[in-house]
Copies of this chain bind each other. A is one copy, B any other.
Amino acid sequence: MLTIGELAAFVGVSTRTVRFYHSLGLLPEPSRDASGYRRYGAEDVVRLSRIVALASAGVPLVRVGELLEAGEQAFADGVAEVDADIRAEMRRLKALRSTLADLDSPDRLALPRVLADAIETIRRAGAPGRYVDLYRDSWILAHALYPAEVRRYLERQSTSTWSDPAYLDLQVRMLLLAEAPADDPRVAQLAADTLDWMAGQEQEDTLEDYGELFSDERANRIMTAQWIMTPAWDRLSELVLAGMQERGLGPSTPEDPDPAQR
């Protein structure tokens, strides 16, 4: 017969744990020897092994008790359920590992992949870091508030826009003009190129989607609270808006049409 320490060591738990299971009624109190020590038999080894296996699978102890008292069929069903939970947990851990791999990158951590990739490209193309950060932050807030909408928006145009080098180049040039004066000749040039790019786009609902997404009053406050307007961008915005109306492009709403300029 085994002492509590020998039993505990064999199944890989502490003596405190065994006594705790006694107090819960999970494991019956065994008989005592002359000096009052608990003495365990093979049956206890088996029962404790079962408890420990289930507990280490994360099954709440109350549930473990239920399972051990249940009939053969109910027990088997319960164990099958536990097994399914473990498989789910393994999938969760697998997904978690890929999240951990992105833990040092704020973009990948809080944004859909398409956007994170686009922002990284923009950053690497030489756009000023401080403004790229602000740009990213506004997207993070938008995504946090309207995950479904942002995702839907991105899905519809991921290939046409956010991975289009031409579009990303326009963004970079815009960000580079952050601290330029409003009458910098590059502003006018960028406005013209932006309009050209828009004209080349097949689907004009791109802009409408954007308008729909940010027609919300609160969303606008969020974006503008993060985003800073500079003289050059104000001018750029004016020029693009004017050009669009001239060419009959863009949304019918009076919303600011160019994502690049929020």
Seen from chain A, the residues whose Cβ lies within 8 Å of a Cβ on chain B are 1-2, 6-7, 10, 41-43, 45-46, 49-50, 53-54, 56-57, 72, 75-76, 79, 82-83, 86-87, 89-90, 93-94, 96-97, 99-101, 103-104, 106, 109-110, 136-138, 140-141, 143-145, 147, 222, 225-226
Contacts and interface: CB of A to CB of B under 8 A. Distances in A.
Given A45-B144, A109-B50, A141-B42, A100 B82 contact: yes
Contact of A100 (B2, B57, B136, B147): B57
B6 A144 contact: yes
**A-B CB proximity, top 3 nearest:** A42-B137, A42-B140, A10-B144
7 contacts: A6-B144, A45-B144, A49-B110, A53-B109, A75-B104, A79-B100, A86-B96
Contacts of A72: 104
A4 B111 CA distance: 19
A93 to B, nearest CB: 5
